[in-house]
Structure 1
């Protein structure tokens, strides 16, 4: 295929049952390109292999003093030189095209899988392994696809030369034919050890990459606690382990290369010696000796491709295995294992209504702001993912989350993403301008200005305006660094919230959207969120009283199911476990609900008083508010 056709309209559905099957599927998808490259490679090797025959004819013509045959030999050499130049050029072009198209196909498959899984991907596969697959493994898989076509042409050329020599000069030809299998298979005993060493190198390289990415991601925290040198020493150690493993692996491949040079060299010496004996005895002519010698010397060229395909297979096999493992991941149960659920709406119709999770019994009424309080943060994160249709841990028989009675698992991926948006507790800001950050698929009903206002991003806009490099003072044109590292945690969190609000999905799920902001900003965000999401289904996972007080409904999850529902004040008065989670209370006497701070003196008061009294200081606000006793 032409590179102009990239990217593929449809990269296909890969066979991910194993790394070998994935490579086989990839070869089948590019069969036409492989056959074309093999044909050009065969032309190249045939023209080079015939060149010694032309030289032998020229030598014999000189010996026989035949000018006509010498001229014919010269013309034949010119023709073979032109064919070899054409074959070499076209082989390189088609082989590189095969490499690029194979790598592009794998990258598209990985990108599609990444989009499909979303944030669930890094919970199933380590970040370092994803980086390794997306960068190094794609290149190695493409290398195998490219090398396989050259190996095919080299194999055909080697067999053809052995048969031709056996007919052309039986005594020397049979000797060469018997030696070729030994030359081709001599490196096989060394391949397992070389493959093992290469696997160790890749494993250590993957761990070093993961350590580097984790260190860079947490650099701000490391600087705060003075841990840069500790992690730098760890990375130095990991890097040295990778270097040692690479040298250990290179030694084995150097040995394989040496074997591929020494054995054909010994064959060449043997052919020269035995051929000279035959020539002295008059059993072969000088021209025949030159032809056989030149042809055997040429054999070193295709035999090099045997070594290359062995290396390519050794490196691409684990790479294909890792790629197949990532591509085999699914975001929920398999379609044939899914339980019987209501039919999905027709294409183009977005579902709406109550958001319901049958596993926990959580019901978020349509058009209302619902808060979910869960004592276990990990369980809250899993529930948030499940509400968005991401349920990697769900097994067959468990029901999917329903939106307006429609199972999210039965919706097309694009429709499910448009209907429900989940913002996790650690949202990622990609590098780019603020305008690009907020340029996301949306309903068009919420402007970026309104979203930024609701998310209380005024100070963020001022900071971005001051950091503008084009002197325009326009914060929308200011570039945000990768993952928003130039911003504070609270600023990143508010920009991510604004991005989610601009999208304006039918149902919005926010996991701890204000955990990194102060109490005054959090109170304003709570008010802005309720206003901008009026008549839209919104679920907020939080234990902050400032947010809980603004919600229409609060659902308390305990032991994996709904334990209580009501308003924030109702649950404070009526549920001891809820009160313990929200106010961070430890065990206390019955009837005592909170601490009232008056003039710097703390006193226990009955629950009926503390639940409504304005002097109650919840833990979320108490972290940011201090009442000091006046002098």
Structure 2
């Protein structure tokens, strides 16, 4: 796999049972790249290891006054220098390729999971966790995958050099062969506490960042109530905790760095001291001592690689655990991917958990006093069971379980627009360029959503005075628009899609009553003979629905028309009219209210 071949056509199905299993799965998918990097690593390290041999030959040639051996040593050094340069260049190229391709594979898997779960992702895992996994954790995973090949080549070269030393100089070689594993193992006990301190710093930094974001987002409100100093003090305390955690982490890594310098230095001193004694006894030549010293110096290089791979695994294992946790999430609490029929089922939409039924081709309004419960119910109607709700049955469309359908089929069948839809940055034409049936043109959707004033405002801001609102760029999350304008554009986007079943959660909460009434009429006309479910407590929307379902404590307890329920059901009336006392009012008051509602409708129609 080369970088130019990215992205992957199919990144595969990862093993998400644990972090180490995910790392092993990534390694299996890069065997060719790892073997290539390891081969170049062996070439590089073997050439570096052979340089002391050539240097020792040169020194001994000078001592023996042998010009031929000195020339041979010089030529060998030139050859080894070329191999060192070639091996290092190709090792870096292949190792970085392994890093980037592994990180790209994980990022593609995360992007696929995000697209699969949609808005339900942030209900199962915090948005900040997803961002952290997609950035820092992906880097750490790629680091470990990249370091594997260098570790393999360093291990092979170290074993070869130690064996050669034992054969070449048994006395010195045995000391070195015993000392090298001790040096490798000496730093390992320090890595777990260092990793824990680094994770603690990461968690505290994430909390401080989240606190800062919340403070900035709510700064206007905080200034209004005089609470900005309170939140600033909280951020100062969080920032100081991050600083203290960073200092504790830095101290541990400084200790590890000191050990990495101290112990190899002691080994070099011991080897030189012992070797000088052997030279004085005539058991070892000067050139041989130089060769051994050079090989010991070389062994410090793979020792660093051994410590790096231990460090990389200590960092990447928790990162892989977090990535595996996100990648293991499913569309439902059962994690099902859907293997049912690919055909889009037709029929009534039914939720067994609440008993809510939405007849096919009708506009059904749902009144639910608990906004959170309404959001969970809307998710279930879209085939997404909330996290932690094992055993909750799936919603049925035409008698077919939605969470048993393939993802594309389920999304073609049912579209859920939550109460806080997101507008991505881009032009209005790009915003409305979504997968759709083609039956609803953008103009009709915009008209039904009452976007006339939005189009006028966008036309005035159009580039190059083209007066074309479709070419006007909308900023990220629609921040250049008001809340009502964003809500209506999001509704228009959903109407353009023209799904078989459209579920809308509070689609008109940010618009005035006159606009809301016209939207209700436009929605009813445009979605004629299509199944539409609207979660709302607005009388204007409820009165235009074919049927109204009242959901209380998670169960559908009443069904009828808005006026009928308003007259006969005190609990329904308390939710819709926001009465504190659900006791039935006198009949003359109810009749007067219904009469006023009818008169307001006539005024709206005449307007």
What's the TM-score bracket when you normalise by the shorter of the two chains?
Answer: over 0.9
Cα distance, 1:230 vs structure 2: 4.4
- The equivalent residue for 1:493 is 487
SS at match of 1:371: strand
User: CA offsets per residue over residues 323-358 of structure 1, 9 Å max, x none?
Assistant: 1111111222447899xxxx944x3x3222211112
- Residue pairs, 1:369-380, within 5 angstroms: 369-380=363-374
Partner residue, 1:473 = 467
The answer for the alignment partner of 1:623 in structure 2 is none
Q: How far off its partner does 1:48 sit?
A: 0.1
Q: CA deviation at 1:424?
A: 0.4
In structure 2, the partner of 1:310 is 310
Supply the distance in 2 between the matched residues of 1:79 and 1:14 (Cα, whole angstroms).
Answer: 44
Structure 1 position 247 matched with structure 2 position 230: no
Residues 99-248 of structure 1 aligned to structure 2 (within 5 Å) = 99-215=99-215, 217-218=217-218, 221-222=221-222, 230-248=230-248
| SS in structure 2 at match of 1:247 | helix
CA RMSD, 1 decimal: 2.2
- The residue aligned with 2:457 is 463
3-state SS of 1:508 partner: strand
Checking the alignment, whether the CA contact within 8 Å between 1:371 and 1:548 is kept in structure 2 is yes
CA distance in 2, matches of 1:218, 1:426: 17
Give matches, 1:595-606, under 5 Å.
Answer: 605-606=588-589
CA contact (8 A) 1:337 1:396 kept: no
2:542 to 529, 541, 548: 548
- Say if 1:80 and 1:589 are closer, same or farther in 2 by CA, change over 3 A: closer
Deviations 1:469-501 (Å, cap 9, x if unpaired)? 543332222222221122211111111111111
State the alpha-carbon separation in 2 of the partners of residues 54 and 169 from structure 1.
Answer: 16
Which residue of 513, 528, 535 maps to 2:529? 535
Residue 404 of structure 2 aligns with which residue? 410
Look up the SS of the partner of 2:332 in the other structure: coil
Q: Distance in 1 between matches of 2:231 and 2:281?
A: 75
Q: SS of 2:357's equivalent? A: strand
Task: Give 1:106 shift.
Answer: 0.8
**Within 2, Cα distance between the matches of 1:231 and 1:456?**
40
Distance in 1, Cα, partners of 2:220 & 2:101 = 40
Aligned partners of 1:588, 1:578: CA distance in 2, in Å?
8
Whole-angstrom distance in 1 between the partners of 2:239 and 2:311: 23
- 2:590 is aligned to 607
CA distance in 2 between partners of 1:227 and 1:435 (Å):
41
Quickly say closer, same or farther: Cα 1:616–1:185, change in 2 above 3 A. farther
Q: How far off is 1:246 after superposition?
A: 2.0
- 1:58 deviates by 1.1
Distance 2:210 2:73 in 1: 61
- 1:389 corresponds, among 374, 383, 388, to 383
Post-superposition offset of 1:89? 0.8
Q: Structure 1 216/36 Cα, relative in aligned 2: closer, same or farther at 3 Å?
A: farther
2:427 corresponds to: 433
Instruction: Specify every segment of 5 or more residues in structure 2 that has no aligned partner in the other structure, as ranges.
Output: 602-607
CA contact (8 A) 1:128 1:213 kept: no
Residue in structure 1 matched with residue 281 of structure 2 by the alignment = 281
> For residues 262-310 of structure 1, what are the alpha-carbon distances to aligned partners after superposition, in whole Å with 9 as ceiling and x for unaligned?
1111111221122122112211111101100111111111111122122
**Distance across 1 between alignment mates of 2:220 and 2:349:** 38
- Name the SS for the 1:351 alignment partner: coil
CA distance in 2 between partners of 1:360 and 1:377 (Å): 15
Seen in structure 2, the aligned counterparts of structure 1 residues 103 and 221 have a Cα distance that, compared at 3 Å, is farther
Shift of 1:406: 1.8
TM-score by length of 1: 0.91
Distance 1:424 1:452 in 2: 19
**Preserved CA contact (<8 Å) 1:522 1:546:** yes
Distance 1:73 1:566, change over 3 A: same
Q: Report the TM-score, using the length of structure 2 for normalisation.
A: 0.94
Deviations 1:28-59 (A, max 9, x none): 22222112211211111111001000111111
CA distance in 1, matches of 2:259, 2:230: 44
After superposition, the Cα gap between the structure-2 partners of 1:585 and 1:482, relative to the gap in structure 1 and judged at 3 Å, is same
Instruction: Name stretches of at least 5 consecutive residues in structure 1 with no aligned partner.
Output: 594-604, 619-631
Work out whether residues 128 and 207 of structure 1, in 8 Å CA contact, stay in contact via their aligned partners in 2: no
- Once structures 1 and 2 are overlaid, which stretch shifts more, 487-496 or 204-213? 204-213
Contact 2:198 2:249 in 1 (8 A): yes
Q: 1:609 and 1:117 mapped to 2: Cα distance? A: 47
Residue 561 of structure 1 corresponds to which residue in structure 2? Answer: 555
Greater CA drift, 72-81 or 382-391: 72-81
**1:79 alignment counterpart:** 79
Q: Equivalent residue of 2:393, what SS?
A: coil
Q: What is the CA distance between 1:137 and its match in structure 2?
A: 0.7
The equivalent residue for 1:601 is none
Cα distance in 2 for partners of 1:261, 1:99 equals 28
> Matched residue of 2:465: which SS?
coil
Aligned pairs, number: 601
Deviation at 1:103, TM superposition (A): 0.6
1:19-98 correspondence runs (5 A): 19-98=19-98
**Distance in 2 separating the partners of 1:313 and 1:409:** 37
Measured in 2, the distance between the counterparts of 1:152 and 1:546 equals 70
Larger helix share, 1 or 2: 2
Between the aligned partners of 1:444 and 1:232, the Cα distance in structure 2 is 51
Per-residue deviation, 1:242: 2.3
The answer to whether the 8 A contact 1:371-1:551 is kept is yes
- d(CA) in 2 for partners of 1:263, 1:195: 22
SS at match of 2:24: helix
The residue number in structure 1 matching 2:605 is: none
Task: Give, in whole Å, the separation in 2 of the partners of 1:38 and 1:588.
Answer: 76
CA gap 1:325/1:199 in 2 versus in 1, 3 angstroms: same
Q: For residues 313 and 337 of structure 1, do their structure 2 counterparts lie closer, same or farther at Cα, with a shift above 3 Å needed?
A: closer
Comparing 314-323 with 225-234, which one deviates more in the overlay? 225-234
CA contact (8 A) 1:257 1:307 kept: no
Please identify, of 288-297 and 60-69, the stretch whose mean Cα deviation from structure 2 is larger: 60-69
Provide the rounded CA distance (Å) in 1 between the counterparts of 2:570 and 2:583.
11
Equivalent residue of 1:422, what SS? strand
